[in-house]
Amino acid sequence: MHKVIYDTDPGVDDAMALLFLHRHPGIDLLGVTTVFGNASVDTTTRNALFLKREWNIPCPVARGASVTFDPSRPERPWPAVVHGHNGLGDIDVPETIDLPTDPRPAYQFIIDTVRANPGEVTLVAVGRMTNLALALKHDPEIASLVKGVVIMGGNFYVPGNVSPVAEANIHGDPEAADFIMKAAWKVVVVGLDVTSVTTMSRGYLADMAKAGGPSVQLLADLSQSYIDFYKHAVEDGMMVHDSCACVYVVAPELFDTIEGSIRVVCGGIADGQTIIKQDGRRFPPGDWDNLPSQIACTGIRSQQVLDLIRDVILGKVKH
């Protein structure tokens, strides 16, 4: 079993990834931690509780960061044009959900859960990396106690999606992302190199909903405006960014990867750019030296990934 903490900012594609984690028979979802990003942390936490209730997810939800790792970094507007004003495609979501959050802040929940399960927990982070950076700052030893870190973020050999060089999750808190890339844990970066070519069509999702009943219909409903947004890039479909990171946990063989030290640009016109110094490449001494080697995904078997997402969500995958 893969013990997973899911760090998320729901978010439309976050919702699909959550249902995948919940329904995969080989994943033990230990907790959901929320972060600001696709909406305020108040909204993303409410959305996580809403999905927990609708999908009968037993694990706790811990509220996380509401500002960047460097609190002096100015806040940008929420991407309402992408995820809707309520973060879930503007479907009807109650203002409040009558479920409690875990009493601990997300970073403390991460620390405590990792320490209670040494060597067993995979952190899957699909929003800004703020909670992970705070956990590492408060307890640096957890870097040696996690099984691994899989993030949805970044881009190496393809353009960004919020600037010519930067992807949204990294661009939203570059200092946090750089901090976790430099730490002595194994980070797998599942970024736009693979997620931007992995698109689920409206018809594919509709067929899933037809086969999956009300729970999958909810997923389809909240995804419709997200699919509308993607018309500029995808023909009647959506990029399933966050689910790709979750698939990596259980099926890494569906990805091509390279390894090397990774840094994140903090400030200037390339703010949020992820840059890898691939292992074996020689350069004069520089800012990538003596750092841990991380993993960057550069290729993906997209159709197999989509089919696995569908089969897991529809309960067709047996342990």
- Which residues participate in catalysis according to the annotation? 9, 241
CB of 274 closer than 8 Å to CB of 298: no
Residues in Cβ contact with 75 at an 8 Å cutoff, skipping those fewer than 6 apart: 67, 68
How many Å apart are CA 68 and CA 70, to the nearest integer?
5
3-state secondary structure of 171: helix
Q: Are strands 237-239 and 187-190 parallel, antiparallel or unpaired?
A: unpaired
How many Å apart are CA 272 and CA 286, to the nearest integer?
19
CB of 97 closer than 8 Å to CB of 42: no
Question: In residues, how long is the chain?
Answer: 319
Which two tokens mark 107? 């970073």
Residues in Cβ contact with 92 at an 8 Å cutoff, skipping those fewer than 6 apart: none
Which two tokens mark 297? 């995904």
- Unique residue bearing structure tokens 């901090």: 179
E strands within 39-169? Answer: 61-62, 121-125, 148-152
CB of 127 closer than 8 Å to CB of 170: no
Which two tokens mark 272? 């949020």
